[in-house]
Amino acid sequence: AAEGDPAILEKKDWNQYLGDGVDARPYGHPSEFEADVVRRNVAWLTADPVSSVNFTPLHQLDGIITPNGLCFERHHAGIAEVDPAEHRLMINGLVDRELVFTMQDLMRFPRENRVYFLECAANSGMEWRGAQLNGCQFTHGMIHNVMYTGVPLKYLLEEAGLKTNAKWLLPEGADAAGMTRSVPLQKALDDCLVAFKMNGEALRPEQGYPIRLAVPGWEGNMWVKWLRRIEVGDEPWHHREETSKYTDLMANGKARRFTWEMDVKSVITNPSPQAPILHDKGFTVLTGLAWSGRGSITRVDVSLDGGRNWRPARIDGPSFDKSAHRFYYEFDWDGSPLLLQSRAIDSEGIVQPTKDALRAVRGTNSIYHNNGIQTWHVKSGGEVENVEVS
Ligand code: MTE
Ligand code: CO
């Protein structure tokens, strides 16, 4: 700080006057000085905010947990304001006993706590044909990472008793979109949760209050919010969200279907277009997030020169399966332009591809499942821009 710094020399209100008492904020909010830390929408992406998406401000967060009020939202028919007293979960179809659970009934099953990322299949979808949106909030912000408390779906299915020909499930939402997706039974028995808490508190209405399905590591659209029914069947239903939407059109005109797993991916969140370098050359903290729907992240490499040279980043914080990982790379910036990239490697040994490598396999017709390496161009003044290198 400069000599005669008024931040030290002058008295502030908060030095002299009593603050609010303990009853002023029965449910707390962030500091008013954090007012720009908010979810943001890209108005031209969708025709109407009711069937739309907003984005997590990844460049303003740290650690691995996304605060509840900042978890991106994706609704096909707006936020359903469900009264839990009037909400039920039904299990029907190929079961021995069709069951209806109240919220109280669900609270009497053993529950588990697990941290998972949820990534919309369309995350980074606007970047398929080239660099477009200027900020990791918009290029990568359709992800959140939350500790869920919920009942393993397996227990509810056991209670209903599965018929021997049961192979698929159809979870359905109580919103006006009545969102449905076919989920293979094996996945439900492996690790799906009927979740009712996020980061310790009730799910937010935006995230599916009072209950949502967690389908760890798989496309966000399968995580049905406001979950009200699970039908058990012997084959997939081929509904809208797995035919017309959420399929990947290849270069030959054929579409990949049922591409459930979210592939290994990472992004540098600082510096990034919304978070330029504000200091002169010298010690610089680079940070970002990495995740994989197939397991944990074993390594993240960082390049300062557009992928010519790579150095290992430092992963810090818990490393859970199908959860976000935080990485850091501290370096001495000489003030010259940089081409920043990060490349994650998951516990299956799968390496995040370059965008060119991805396009060589997938073509450019896709929207979903873009896990290509992101490049940020840091200019000598510290501003940052979304670019591509080849
Ligand atoms: N569930 C219902 N009932 N209705 C929806 O519109 N959107 C899906 C999924 N579950 C949706 C839904 C999509 S496309 C995604 S990416 C995730 O919810 C988004 O979850 P979030 O709003 O908690 O971020
Ligand atoms: Co989605």
Domains of the chain (ranges, CATH numbers): 74-255 (3.90.420.10), 265-387 (2.60.40.650)
Q: Whose CA is nearest to atom 10 of ligand 1?
A: 224
What's the gap in Å between 171 CA and the centre of ligand 2? 15
**Separation of CA 261 and ligand 1 centre (Å):** 16
For ligand 1, mutation pick of 51, 223, 228, 245 (most atoms within 8 Å of CB)? 223
Q: What span, in angstroms and rounded, lies between the C-alpha atoms of 28 and 237?
A: 44
pLDDT of residue 49: 85
Ligand nearest to the CA of 51: 1
Q: Whose CA is nearest to atom 11 of ligand 1?
A: 75
The strand order across the sheet containing 338-346 reads: 311-312, 297-303, 338-346, 375-378, 384-387
Name the residue of 75, 183, 226 to mutate for ligand 1: max ligand atoms within 8 A of Cβ: 75
- Beta bridge partners, 185, equal none
Dist. CA 197 → ligand 2 center (Å) = 20
- H helices of the chain, in order, are 6-9, 13-16, 103-106, 136-140, 153-160, 185-191, 355-362
The confidence score (pLDDT) of residue 160 equals: 98
The dihedral sign for the CA sequence 349, 354, 355, 359: negative
Q: Which of 39, 66, 172, 225 to mutate to test the pocket of ligand 1 (most atoms within 8 A of CB)?
A: 225
Question: Among all ligands shown, which has an atom nearest to the Cα of 211?
Answer: 1
CA of 222 to the centre of ligand 2 (A): 8
Which ligand has the nearest atom to the CA of 222?
1
Whose CA is closest to atom 21 on ligand 1?
A: 73
For the CA of 246, the nearest atom of ligand 1 = 14
Q: Which pLDDT belongs to residue 282? A: 98
* CA distance to 296, 321, 385, per residue, from 62 (Å): 18, 19, 21
Atom of ligand 1 nearest to the CA of 75: 6
Q: What is the pLDDT of residue 2?
A: 58
Torsion sign (Cα): 278, 280, 283, 289: positive
Query: How many angstroms separate the most distant Cα atoms in the chain?
Result: 79
> What is the 358 CA–ligand 2 centroid distance (Å)?
21
Residue 74 CA to ligand 2 center (angstroms) comes to 6
Q: Which two tokens stand for residue 234?
A: 């012997």
Ligand 2 geometric centre to CA of 374 (Å): 20
Q: Which atom of ligand 1 is nearest to the CA of 207?
A: 23
Give ipTM to 2 decimals.
1.00
Q: What is the atom index within ligand 1 of the atom nearest the CA of 173?
A: 3
What is the CB < 6 Å shell around ligand 1? 71-76, 118, 120, 144, 173, 175, 177, 179, 206-207, 220-221, 223-226
Which residues have beta carbons under 5 A from ligand 2 (an ion)? 74, 120, 220-221
**Rounded Cα–Cα distance for residues 291 and 287 (Å):** 14
Sequential pLDDT tens for the chain (390 residues): 558 999 999 999 999 999 999 999 999 999 999 999 999 999 888 888 888 999 999 999 999 999 999 999 999 999 999 999 999 999 999 999 999 999 999 999 999 999 999 999 999 999 999 999 999 999 999 999 999 999 999 999 999 999 999 999 999 999 999 999 999 999 999 999 999 999 999 999 999 999 999 999 999 999 999 999 999 999 999 999 999 999 999 999 999 999 999 999 999 999 999 999 999 999 999 999 999 999 999 999 999 999 999 999 999 999 999 999 999 999 999 999 999 999 999 999 999 999 999 999 999 999 999 999 999 999 999 999 999 998
- Give the Å distance between the CA of 220 and the centre of ligand 1: 6
Q: What separation in Å is there between the alpha carbon of 1 and the centre of ligand 1?
A: 47
Backbone angles phi, psi at 378, to 5 degrees: -90, 120
